[in-house]
Amino acid sequence: MLFFEYSFLFVFLPLVLAVYFTLPHSARNSWLLVSSCVFYSFSSWMFLPVLFCSIAVDFVAGGRIARTSDPAARKRWLLVSLVTNLGALAGFKYLGLITSGLGDLFGHERIPLLEAALPVGISFYTFQSMSYTLDLYRRRIQPACSFRDFAAYVSMFPQLIAGPIVRYADLESQLARREHSADQFASGVYLFVVGMAKKLLIADTLAKISAPLFAQAAPGFCDAWIAMLLFSGQIYFDFSAYSDMAIGLGRLFGFEFPENFRSPYRATSFADFWRRWHITLSSWLRDYLYIPLGGNRSGALRTHLNLLVTMLLGGLWHGASWNFLLWGGVHGALLCGERICRGRLPVPPKAVRQAMVFLAVTAVWVPFKFEAFAETLLWWGAMFGSSGVGSVGLIETAAVALLLLLVWLPRRIYDWDLRFDLPQVAYASALFISAILIGYGRAEISPFLYFRF
């Protein structure tokens, strides 16, 4: 069930909210848990046991970690959590890549290709659930008061499918008791509507405009760059739209989820980009992988190695593909190169740095966009080689110009004062109606891009 489908907008969400606000506070988490199970069942009901297996194992393991002071026992229960979650993730997501690689080494007759259907949202909820046991092991949080509250936290439908990856520490007090206000509800409505408009009016429009360019067998220089600039806009507005809608939905129920995007294409360095893009994933990788590996505490060579390993695994998190591994590796190399050059080269003006980072990130989106390595080489060849200039029309050029204005000029919605007053209600209503009419006026509505992860 997509957030912008009629069944969600006009049936599921109003019903869930109506019941939620009629219930006493003590029953609201139970209703959220039930609602989240129903929501998940619409897209992946057969994988509900996988979701609840992860929840149950981490609840039990976390409780045992918190209750014992024996270091060996605590490590054993942490290992149970990690093996369960990472084992499920590897089995469902990477089985095909693993058996394909082994088949290449030992022969596909001896090792056949094995693939499993991917449970929706498994990459997100396993990391979220694991962060609970990891933080308990580090004695940074207290264990959940009840299985119901922990299950409601992991399975909460606004952010279950594609994040943000919310840590238990972020919601611990809110699960126990949260306040509701008209201003908070209003800000939730506005965030949701703006997110829906970003998806239906901007991201899907950019996808439609760029589709003929990506269909070319031999793109030219201009074709390749314009297409990838449009894809940069599409993936940003698509994924940030989901995050905005998820955060908005959370506020309707009294929860404050962490911000997931902070104008990433305004970044002045690659490190700055990763502080702004998919913030909850990059901070998860930093806190639970990069820092435990040693971070930047053991010299330059070890720091660069830690960065590369973290970014390679971050790329692999997105999918079982050598292209994702390449995408993560290139970003790791850029981060290492940036650290090496720091203080050794003159610093260009801010606008120049922003443009350089944006264009580099756009070029590195190529292996993320395409499934086959040969396609990546073809498009990089068109962008940096001599495969011909190519040609693009006025519509594509205007779309890129508008994209740059949208990315660099306006204030962020999180900086707005969002209240129930007449001008803002009129604006939100007009935006909502426009998104519905235009979005559903298309022949086909595309799901969010990050649903495949």
Distance CA 348, CA 354 (A): 10
Q: For residue 246, which of 154, 120, 127, 157 has the smallest C-alpha distance?
A: 157
Q: Any idea what the Cα angle at residue 191 is, between residues 265 and 204, rounded to 5°?
A: 60
Measured CA to CA, the distance from residue 215 to residue 209 in angstroms comes to 11
> What is the Cα–Cα distance from 188 to 158, expressed in whole angstroms?
12
- Which position among 25, 180, 304, 318 bears the catalytic label? 318
Told to judge if 318 belongs to the known catalytic residues of this protein, a careful annotator would answer yes
Instruction: Output the six-digit token pair for 243.
Output: 């995050």
Please report, in angstroms and rounded to a whole number, the separation of the first and last CA atoms in the chain: 16
Our separate counts of H helices and E strands in the chain read 23, 0
**Structural contact between residues 53 and 83, judged by C-beta atoms closer than 8 angstroms:** no
Measured distance CA(282)–CA(272) in Å, rounded: 11
H helices of 156-299, in order, are: 157-160, 168-176, 182-197, 204-214, 221-252, 270-276, 279-285, 291-293
| Residue whose token pair is 């259907």 | 117
Work out the angle between the directed axes of helices 48-67 and 71-93 (0-180°, nearest 10): 170
Q: Using an 8 Å Cβ cutoff, are 235 and 403 in contact?
A: no
Distances, alpha carbon 449 to alpha carbons 73, 230, 235, 278, in Å: 41, 14, 7, 13
* Residues noted as catalytic: 318
